[in-house]
Amino acid sequence: MKIAFVIVLLNFSFFAYCQTKIGYILDSETNESIPYTNIIGVNNELKLISDKNGNYSADKVMNLKPNDKIVFYASGYDSKELLVSDIVKSEYKVFLNQKSILLEEAVISSNVQKEILGNKELGTISSKFFSEFDPRDFDELGKERGIVLAITEKTKFNNLKFYVAQNEFKYVKLKLNFYSVSEEKTFELLNQQDIFIEVRDEYKGWVDVNLQEYDLVFRKQEGSTKIVASLQWLESIKSNDESEKFGINAKRAKKRNRAYNFNSQYGLGWRFSKFDLAFYFDVTTFK
């Protein structure tokens, strides 16, 4: 009887140990879940992203100090900065407010031009999302690869094309993000809604994305030095256990045109390097 009691106790302890604490990202008005919310440590190494149901691993938040700060941001919502202690008090539920949408005035201009922003030329390099030099675990959500764009006029983004040079996955889900980058290297997400891109069956070549339905109109922000357009890794299914390569074609450049992010929207994780990704937009500019 004593032996049976010990076995039951051990099983209970193991069960309790295996439980994973779940947090929730919710709309403050509708109480609906917010998928793929970025969860970024301001003064720590935390970088998470909520899943398609708005859930995130609260265990990693529990391991931080009570006074550590975390920022939550998602497409179409105001970003929110909270102390870890406040998140714990709320039982790991975080509510975000919808952004107030300022409608652009109708443009009447005699100078409307079709242009290309980005790089159409193929190179001999692959800019991979994951590599043997990566300091983080494979397939971590939220990694980004993108390009720096110079925008001086009001610009409407009509279409995106990028070239997949390496692909060992049955399925990859990406999200297209646009950021305004300030002189202090802080990144503000400009998207009003999520733009998802799916690549299937180890496809390699040009990926064509029609952006007309999203009405993406941006202009240079006050205090901003540039805009970054990036692809963010959300989900994947490997073709086999050894699958790890997925990369965008690139070539060397004279300027730091490639942007990539490991850690934080506050500049700690963003880096710029002298490469041009095969990644470009068809745009309309209004002058």
Domain locations along the chain: 18-96, 112-286
* pLDDT at position 268 over 50: no
Range of weakest confidence among 32-46, 101-115, 188-202: 101-115
Using CA atoms, how far apart are residues 276 and 212, in angstroms rounded to an integer?
25
Higher-confidence position of 125 and 96: 96
* pLDDT at position 138 over 50: no
Q: CATH class for domain 18-96?
A: mainly beta
Could you tell me if 236 and 169 are in contact, meaning their C-beta atoms sit under 8 angstroms apart?
Answer: yes
Look up the pTM and report it.
0.78
Quickly count: other Cβ atoms within 10 Å of residue 262's Cβ: 17
In tens, the pLDDT along 210-239 reads 999 998 988 776 656 678 899 988 888 889
Which amino acid belongs to residue 192?
Answer: Q
From 64, 21, 16, select the one nearest 40 (Cα to Cα): 64
Residues whose CB is less than 8 angstroms from the CB of residue 257 and which lie 6 or more positions away in sequence, other chains included: 119, 147, 148, 272, 274, 275, 276, 277
Q: What is the mean pLDDT of residues 13-25?
A: 62
Q: What pLDDT, on the 0 to 100 scale, is given for residue 258? A: 62
> Average pLDDT, whole number, for the chain?
79
- Range among 41-55, 86-100, 209-223 rated most confident: 86-100
Q: What pLDDT, on the 0 to 100 scale, is given for residue 266? A: 39
The partner residues of 167 in beta bridges, in order of sequence, read 246
* pLDDT at position 79 over 80: yes
Does domain 112-286 fall under CATH 3.40.140? My reply is no
Q: What is the 3-state secondary structure (H, E, C) of 21-84?
A: CEEEEEECCCCCECCCCEEEECCCCCEEECCCCCEEEHHHHHCCCCCCEEEEECCCECCEEEEH
Q: What is the mean pLDDT of residues 270-274?
A: 72
Using CA atoms, how far apart are residues 193 and 75, in angstroms rounded to an integer?
5
* pLDDT at position 93 over 90: yes
pLDDT classification of 112: cutoffs 50, 70, 90: confident
Q: What pLDDT, on the 0 to 100 scale, is given for residue 80? A: 92
Q: What is the mean pLDDT of residues 7-36?
A: 70
